[in-house]
Amino acid sequence: MSDLDATTPRVFLARHGETEWTKNGRYTGATELELTPYGIKQVKSTAVQLVGAKKLIDPARVVRIFVSPRKRARQTFEQLFDSSKIALDDERVKLTEDITEWNYGDYEGLKTAEIRAKRKEKGRDVEKEWDIWRDGCEGGESSQQIAERLDRVISEIRNIQRPYMNGEKPADVVLVAHGHILRCFFKRWLRYPMEMPLTMMLSPGAIGILGYKNHNIEEPGFFVGMSLPSDE
């Protein structure tokens, strides 16, 4: 790793693997779905490549793991850290509703096109198409509510990492959660408003990487790309 990568704390965003609803683009909030067999393979492959001693996510450098309580996220956590022998009852692991998926309310189980059609039947969105980042979800959460709970997590993470910005002690953090909420987290990490247009993609079983520029807690950033650590 470069000197900056090795000494400045990072935050890894781990999206759960594929579910049946992931495959066809249905909004999945509180519905409890398990990973598909392929979803388990996705996460196992990520773990083999990226999680372990001297790998991108080195358990020896991880001080906190936030996990969504939804079954698909817990399964993903178990697959990611199985070889590292880190279980849900480990003192570093925190199950929290603050990073569970967006509460889609009336839109649970629907696809984007179905949601937009449903709203137009009610005479809504005459001038602009529905945008979850701006309009939120009927019977569910608004973007402001999402921002508030994610900001709590971000504040906790910064309090954990603030004393160690120059490598005084390893202080990496991992979030194991869902595709939509992790993209929301990305915006709030950078202090962007939720409604700001920013096209982002995070594949099932993928890992995103956030950090800080110039070893400065007040300069949160993200890695466009990152070299993998050497075994040497």
From the annotation, which residues make up the binding site for substrate? Answer: 28-29, 72, 101-104
Catalytic-labelled residue, pool 18, 101, 108, 141: 101
Measure CA 220 to chain center: 16
Which residues, at least 6 apart from 81, have a Cβ–Cβ distance to it below 8 Å? 47, 51, 59, 65, 87
Which residues, at least 6 apart from 185, have a Cβ–Cβ distance to it below 8 Å? 13, 99, 150, 153, 154, 175, 177
How many Cβ atoms sit within 10 Å of the Cβ of residue 146? 26
Binding residues: 28-29, 72, 101-104
Reading the block at residue 7, the tokens are: 């000494």
Which residues, at least 6 apart from 4, have a Cβ–Cβ distance to it below 8 Å? 215
The span from the CA of 227 to the CA of 56, in Å, is: 9
Largest CA distance in the chain: 63
Distances (CA, A) of 145 to 179, 196, 226: 17, 16, 32
- 3-state SS class at 186: helix
**Smallest Cα–Cα separation from 190: which of 65, 64, 13, 27?**
13
16 is catalytic: yes
Q: List the catalytic residues.
A: 16, 101
